[in-house]
Amino acid sequence: MSQSSAPPTAAIRRPATTPMRLGAFVNDATVRAIFYQAVTFAAVVGLIWYLVSNTIANMATRGMSAGFDFLDVSAGFNIAFTLIPYREGDSYLRVFQVGIANTLLVAVIGIVFASALGLVVGLARLSTNWLIRTLARWYVEVLRNTPLLLQIIAWYFGVFNLLPRPRESIALGGFMWLNNRGAYFPAPVPQDGFETVLGALALAVGAAIAVSVWARRRLRETGRAFPAGLVGFALVAGVPLLVYLALGAPLGWNWPALRGFNFVGGFSVPPAFCALVVALSIYTSCFIAEIVRAGIQSVGHGQTEAARALGVKPSRTMRFIILPQAMRVIIPPLISQYLNLTKNSSLAIAIGFPDLVSVWMNTSLNQSGRAIPIVAMTMGFYCVVSLIVSFALNAYNRRILLRER
């Protein structure tokens, strides 16, 4: 805090043996630094204490209840989409968990789509083909320069709310139905023996990792390459499939069926979810595209020329020479984009998707009236998630940093 306190120098610091007078004590830089630190610390603690006690006192005078006792109370309202089981009689704490699960679902799916789309558009921006390059540029410029909230509302009202009614649902490939109530898929129902398939999958993933580690070492020691990716893929896809077939396909499907007002059964997501994920992915992909483009352009063209001179294939040049160096430029701003997407998912409230802000900070707050604990919990959640994402990607960033030998 007290950054202006000068570093102690030999001239100021007295030898410990000299008896200390008051003036000397006051003039001692270390003592002064400690003093200011203590005063600042006391002021911060006092301020927080004052704000908290002031809030509690004011809420008490106004007859408003504070505290977290309401978390056990039954919430009593319906939530349109829940990733984890929820019924009307469940507690407010459960509503909080439902909100977190929904928010994380949107964030994870959004990040995956935004990254894939962003990478493709970013590479397209650098294409030698004029049409592809120009289209990518328009995509970025138009979508990046309109407000996200408007895009979400436009996707909701302009696309997903205008889909046909359930009776005229659009069937996609015979296993997915789209209508203005949402998207419907068959839901997998694990049967006896499916755990074995999952076990086989875990083993196969472990084996694939081992193969890749071994292949890398062999490459380093002998210079001979081994198709570890291909073998790994064969392991991960093939082994569980064989076990699955050997056990007699122990997985049932719960197919959605049109009954009464709408499809019943299967797995479904509401239109608001589709609108939110599409809008968030597309909007964020524009920024990611620019980050990818900038990252690639930051690698000097000489690198490419040198690789070509050595006879390295263009695909390998990109994979082993350009991208690893570009990643160092890409990762830090990419972290911000992932965090932005996560936090922007709270705009779901505009179209009524039950994310954390919608079910917790809006519905629950209003039904229970506990504004302060609820807002504090919501802020705490976003803060923790942002810090975790930031920590993970920073750790990755540190790993790929240029290591000078």
| 358 lines the binding site for other proteins (CB under 8 A) | yes
* Largest interatomic CA distance in the chain: 94
Nearer to other proteins, 62 or 403 (CB): 62
Candidate list 13, 20, 34, 50; residue touching other proteins; CB under 8 A: 50
| 65 lines the binding site for other proteins (CB under 8 A) | yes
What is the DSSP secondary structure assignment for residue 265, as one 8-state letter? Answer: S
The residues pairing with 252 across neighbouring beta strands, listed in sequence order, are 189
Mask 242-261, x = binds other proteins (CB under 8 A)?
-----------------xxx
Q: Is the dihedral of CA 322, 324, 325, 328 positive or negative?
A: positive
Burial class from Cβ neighbours inside 10 Å (0-12, 13-18, 19+) for residue 204 reads buried
Nearer to other proteins, 304 or 368 (CB): 368
Separation CA 248–CA 231 (nearest Å): 25
Cβ-based neighbour number of residue 263 at 10 Å: 20
Separation CA 127–CA 293 (nearest Å): 10
Mask 365-404, x = binds other proteins (CB under 8 A)?
xxxxx-x---------------------------------
| 67 lines the binding site for other proteins (CB under 8 A) | no
The residues pairing with 269 across neighbouring beta strands, listed in sequence order, are 183
Burial class from Cβ neighbours inside 10 Å (0-12, 13-18, 19+) for residue 379 reads exposed
**Count of residues near other proteins by CB under 8 A:** 58
SS3 call for 204:
helix
Tokens linked to 292: 């990818």
Candidate list 24, 46, 229, 400; residue touching other proteins; CB under 8 A: 46
| 274 Cβ contact partners less than 8 Å away, ≥ 6 residues apart | 155, 160, 182, 183
Candidate list 76, 188, 199, 380; residue touching other proteins; CB under 8 A: 76
Give the nearest distance from C-beta 60 to other proteins in angstroms. Answer: 10
Nearer to other proteins, 90 or 386 (CB): 90
Nearer to other proteins, 51 or 172 (CB): 51
Separation CA 185–CA 167 (nearest Å): 16
Nearer to other proteins, 25 or 50 (CB): 50
Candidate list 9, 17, 18, 61; residue touching other proteins; CB under 8 A: 61
Mask 24-43, x = binds other proteins (CB under 8 A)?
------------x--xx--x
Contact 189, 281 (CB under 8 A): no
Contact 368, 361 (CB under 8 A): no
Residue with tokens 């210079």: 223
Candidate list 4, 18, 145, 222; residue touching other proteins; CB under 8 A: 4
| 170 lines the binding site for other proteins (CB under 8 A) | no
| 298 lines the binding site for other proteins (CB under 8 A) | no
Which 260-279 positions form the footprint of other proteins (CB under 8 A)?
Answer: 260-262, 264, 270-272
Mask 130-169, x = binds other proteins (CB under 8 A)?
---------------------------x---xx--x----
Cα 5 to chain centroid, rounded = 41
Nearer to other proteins, 2 or 27 (CB): 2
Q: At what angle do helices 130-144 and 92-125 cross, to 10 degrees?
A: 150
Nearer to other proteins, 265 or 333 (CB): 265
Piece of 113-121, 243-251, 358-366, 386-394 that binds other proteins (CB under 8 A): 358-366
Give the nearest distance from C-beta 129 to other proteins in angstroms. Answer: 40
Separation CA 184–CA 279 (nearest Å): 20
What is the DSSP secondary structure assignment for residue 401, as one 8-state letter? Answer: S
Phi, psi of 149 (to 5 degrees): -55, -45
**Which residues are near other proteins by CB under 8 A?**
1-5, 36, 39-40, 43-44, 46-47, 50-51, 54, 57-59, 61-65, 76-80, 88-89, 157, 161-162, 165, 180-181, 259-262, 264, 270-272, 349-352, 354, 358, 362-363, 365-369, 371
